[in-house]
Amino acid sequence: MFDMNLIKSTISSSPLKLGPPISKPFLNRKILGLWCPIMIDSKIVSGVIDGEKENVNPMLSCRLNLSPDFLCKIERTGGRVMGVKNHYGWFDKHLEEGESLTIRFFGDDNKEDFVFKAKGSNEVVEVGNGVRVGGIEYISEYVMVGGGGRDVWMKVEEEERERFLEELRTKEEVMMVTA
């Protein structure tokens, strides 16, 4: 529920109330995955709409419809490395200092893949076109906040990437027809 309240306060321009900090968040496995930008440099970049309460993520307690211009995936450049296994299944291993990571952008043809090194220092790294990583102040399985609360990202399921790309293609086709 905390993550959902954080997203709602971002959209409503309320002050963000972050949870406890994570030691070395830039080395935490939670940064890996597909991310949707909600706010970049204090500007809302995704429409967010509360949806139906079916097929809901139990931690967020509602379904969201997002309409970003792009998605990005943060992954290990050398491929996935599995860590611990518990009753929920396998989890990615936490990152090592200096490990090579790649950010892949989907939906924005102007953004190229960017390779960088994981750092325990959590310093901000510019990855192009106003997008940056690092400076993480809060991260959970679902939400990442950085840049002094100016950047808010929400993790999305891998299946959502195809739906997003299809919607983007449809938008582009409509724009070409109306132009």
- Tell me how far CA of residue 13 lies from CA of 43, 61, 101, 131, 165, in angstroms: 10, 21, 32, 20, 28
Reported as a single tens digit per residue, the pLDDT across 152-172 is 898 988 777 777 777 767 766
List, for residues 112-163, the tens digit of each pLDDT value. Answer: 889 999 989 888 888 876 788 888 888 888 889 887 778 889 898 877 777 7
What ranges do the domains of the chain cover?
Answer: 2-178
DSSP state string for 131-155: EEE--EEEE-SSEEEETTTTEEEEE
Residue 1 is predicted with a pLDDT of 47
- Is-contact 94 29, C-beta < 8 A? yes
Report pTM.
Answer: 0.74
Question: Which DSSP state fits 62?
Answer: S
Given a cut of 50, is residue 177 above it in pLDDT? yes
